[in-house]
């Protein structure tokens, strides 16, 4: 009887279920905001404007993807913004403006440091089993401290060719084909595609499945013979690589390092993950939806800008958006459970 | 050898009861820090320096009480909004008091109301909508900071604290800082409430075992919600004391206390899973952290060394407690 009833109202039920899926509502929200932004910003579809949009949200997108991997594995990373600042400080400290080869050293050193930060977070979350929130809270201050040692005030120098990570056209001495390629696909997009490719490859392996399994129920994952510590460590390493890519973009864009620039991005990356429909409890959601979440936050920021809200209110509005973004779905589930 | 070890463990139980072992550990750490600091930095052991450390540590300890109330109730509770709660109260009440005592009652009222409002928002979002406390209070910190920014953007922050607040938190009686006259009664009352009253039993019970508390007829959600209210009201009142200590209100006056308050609670031996701990430990943890900060500053390491040191100590303490837990 019940089955019959369901079948008769199939389209309605299907639509309602589809809407209640966090991912669909995220996509719908994205569509609406995309429309509003495109309407408000007259030259939205010009090439230059699209490139600017991509550049403005690239760091957040990369951080949100890394955050998403950690959240799916059952953790959370409060140190991602501080880690981003730390990497920019290391990059600009190792590099010397007149010595192009130092750029390569900087890349190597920072990549190793990135893996190190990921391993320390992974050690705390995965092996020592300390609550992820508090481990990464502690490490965020450690990263801030190291970054302040290297760069008490914003500054530093960078080799000229580092601009390839921001805009290939202004770099001299690179092959013409690469330059033409760079004019069509902005480097920021390439970095994001790189991160997507990394996650795509990982998600096709056993470890990708383990990450979901550990996040959704760590006890049963452990009993099933999954090395939970290793899996969470791996998630933290992927996160670190994503943050590293964001740092490359930031230094390419600004040519400087700043020990305090990343702080506000931490909460925004968590918000992007939540808006993208990834459960903070872990084990559910898609990493690619974190990109959508980051774009939504970016568009909201633009709409606020177009609405002529003074800059001083930005923090207030973004805080309210985060609360609304996580409270909305929670309220919906609560209501559904009560019924 | 083995019997010797067993005997040693047996005697240790008698010499230092388990209950006080944590506190003894911190005391030993503080003494070691002072011996080390005294040899490296001349004048580190002078009475004035020690009392100054105690004065600054008192503020960390007060914020630590906010944090402890929330953490003890369990449910992975943390309150990251305490710093900006204090800042907001200080910024808003400075112009109300404007250096006079007449309007202190109004400032207190505002502080109380603001704290209750923010705490209620935190509590409802975390315990009734079951959102992660960390994200909620972090976002709340952003909102409060946003309000401060918006308030500051329009005009300069004016006003000074009332003289009573200045006397309470900034002045010394001889060499003895007056803020300790605030901290000691607060510590006494907090310990009394935690250990001797029904409220304390309920609070620790909820943290220790949520299910059992629920089956005993305790409204777990309400208790956890109220811990956030208490934490915010306390933080708001500490904002007044901070204002008294600094003399003026400014944008970032409270935000530097968030990390130390959590670190003090962890160093003080309060388990983050809830249901245990002792406020005396938190006070000693604050003293340890403040002494460390002073030492690092004296060595010329400043902000960078402070944050790095706090991060490493918090991580190390968490690892030690985690390994203790695994061994059991």
pLDDT band at A105 (very low <50, low <70, confident <90, very high): confident
**Model pLDDT, residue A21:** 64
Mean pLDDT, chain A, whole residue set: 81
Mark yes or no for CB contact A327/B131 under 8 Å. Answer: yes
Minimal CA separation from A315 to chain B, in Å? 5
**Model pLDDT, residue B2:** 61
Contacts of A138 in chain B (CB under 8 A): 263, 310-311, 314-315, 318
**Model pLDDT, residue B327:** 47
pLDDT in tens, B149-160: 888 877 777 777
Query: Is ipTM beyond 0.90?
Result: no
Mark yes or no for CB contact B132/A280 under 8 Å. Answer: yes
Domains annotated on chain B, with CATH: 50-322 (1.10.3470)
B239-298 residues touching A, CB cutoff 8 A? 259, 262-263, 266, 272-273
Enter the DSSP assignment of B187: H
Contacts of B142 in chain A (CB under 8 A): 267, 315-316, 318-319, 322
pLDDT band at A95 (very low <50, low <70, confident <90, very high): confident
**pLDDT exceeds 50 at position A210:** yes
Element (H, E) at A7: helix A2-8
Nearest to B54 by CA among B164, B187, B233, B247: B187
Residues A285 and A329: their CA atoms lie apart, in Å, by 14
Q: Kindly report the pTM of this predicted structure.
A: 0.82
Q: How far is CA A85 from CA A90, A124, A146, A217, in A?
A: 9, 21, 10, 33
DSSP B114-173: HHHHHHHHHHIIIIIS---HHHHHHHHHHHHHHHHHHHHHHS-------HHHHHHHT-EE
pLDDT in tens, A121-134: 998 888 888 888 88
Residues B92 and A182: their CA atoms lie apart, in Å, by 52
Mean pLDDT, chain B, whole residue set: 84
Mark yes or no for CB contact A312/B314 under 8 Å. Answer: no
**Model pLDDT, residue A20:** 60
**Model pLDDT, residue A134:** 83
Residues 6+ apart with CB under 8 A from B206: B73, B74, B213, B218, B220, B223, B224, B274, B275
A237-296 residues touching B, CB cutoff 8 A? 267, 270-271, 274, 280
**Model pLDDT, residue B18:** 61
Assess contact for B134 and B76: CB atoms under 8 A: yes
Enter the DSSP assignment of B175: T
**pLDDT exceeds 80 at position A321:** no
pLDDT-above-70 percentage for chain A: 89
């Amino acid at each position: 009887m019940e089955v019959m009833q369901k079948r008769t109202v199939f389209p309605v039920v299907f639509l309602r279920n589809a809407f209640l899926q966090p991912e669909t509502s995220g996509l719908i929200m994205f569509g609406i905001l995309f429309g509003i932004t495109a309407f408000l910003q007259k030259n939205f579809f010009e090439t230059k404007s699209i490139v600017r949009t991509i550049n403005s949200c690239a760091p957040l997108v990369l951080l949100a993807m890394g955050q998403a991997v950690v959240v799916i594995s059952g953790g959370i990373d409060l140190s991602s913004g501080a880690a981003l600042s730390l990497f920019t400080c290391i990059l600009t400290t190792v590099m010397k403006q007149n010595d192009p080869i130092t750029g390569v050293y900087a890349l190597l050193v920072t990549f190793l440091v990135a893996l190190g930060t990921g391993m320390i977070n992974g050690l705390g979350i995965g092996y020592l089993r300390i609550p992820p929130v508090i481990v990464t809270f502690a490490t965020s201050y450690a990263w801030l401290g190291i970054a302040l040692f290297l760069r008490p005030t914003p500054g530093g120098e960078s080799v000229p060719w580092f601009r390839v990570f921001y805009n290939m056209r202004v770099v001299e001495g690179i092959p013409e084909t690469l330059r033409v390629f760079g004019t069509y696909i902005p480097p920021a997009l390439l970095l994001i595609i790189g991160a997507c490719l990394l996650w795509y490859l990982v998600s096709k392996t056993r470890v990708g499945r383990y990450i979901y399994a550990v996040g959704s129920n760590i006890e049963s994952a452990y009993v099933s013979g999954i090395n939970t510590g290793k899996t969470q460590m791996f998630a933290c390493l992927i996160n670190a690589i994503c943050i590293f890519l964001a740092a490359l973009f930031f230094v390419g864009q600004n040519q400087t390092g700043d020990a305090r620039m990343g702080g506000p991005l931490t909460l925004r990356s968590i918000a992007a993950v939540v808006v993208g429909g990834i459960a903070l409890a872990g084990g559910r959601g898609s990493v690619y939806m974190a990109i959508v979440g980051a774009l939504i936050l970016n568009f909201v920021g633009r709409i606020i800008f177009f609405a002529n809200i003074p800059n001083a209110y930005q923090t207030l509005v973004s805080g309210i958006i985060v609360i609304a973004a996580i409270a909305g779905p929670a309220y919906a589930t609560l209501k559904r459970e009560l019924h | 050898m083995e019997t010797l070890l067993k005997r040693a463990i047996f005697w240790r139980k008698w010499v230092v009861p388990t209950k006080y072992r944590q506190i003894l550990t911190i005391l030993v750490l503080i003494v070691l820090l002072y011996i080390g600091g005294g040899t490296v930095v001349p004048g580190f052991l002078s009475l004035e320096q020690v009392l100054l450390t105690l004065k600054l540590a008192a503020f960390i300890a007060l914020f630590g009480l906010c944090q402890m109330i929330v953490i003890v109730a369990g449910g992975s509770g943390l309150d990251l909004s305490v710093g900006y709660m204090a800042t907001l109260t200080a910024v808003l009440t400075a112009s109300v008091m404007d250096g006079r005592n007449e309007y202190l009652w109004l400032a207190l009222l505002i502080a109380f109301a603001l704290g209750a409002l923010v705490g209620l928002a935190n509590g409802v979002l975390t315990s009734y909508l079951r959102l992660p406390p960390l994200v909620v209070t972090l976002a709340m910190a952003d909102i409060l900071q946003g309000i401060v920014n918006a308030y500051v953007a329009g005009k300069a922050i004016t006003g000074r604290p009332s003289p009573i607040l200045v006397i309470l938190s900034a002045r010394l009686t001889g060499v003895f800082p007056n803020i300790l006259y605030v901290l000691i009664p607060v510590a006494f009352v907090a310990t009394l409430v935690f250990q001797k009253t029904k409220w304390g039993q309920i609070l620790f019970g909820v943290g220790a075992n949520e299910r059992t508390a629920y089956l005993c007829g305790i409204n777990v959600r309400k208790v956890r919600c109220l811990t956030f209210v208490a934490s915010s009201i306390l933080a708001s009142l500490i904002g007044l004391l901070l204002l008294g200590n600094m003399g003026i209100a400014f944008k970032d006056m409270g935000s530097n206390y968030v990390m130390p308050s959590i670190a003090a609670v962890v160093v003080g031996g309060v388990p983050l899973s809830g249901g245990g701990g002792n406020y005396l430990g938190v006070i000693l943890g604050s003293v340890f952290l403040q002494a460390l900060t002073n030492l690092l500053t004296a060595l010329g390491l400043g902000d960078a060394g402070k944050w790095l040191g706090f991060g490493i100590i918090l991580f190390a303490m968490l690892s030690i407690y985690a390994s203790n837990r695994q061994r059991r």
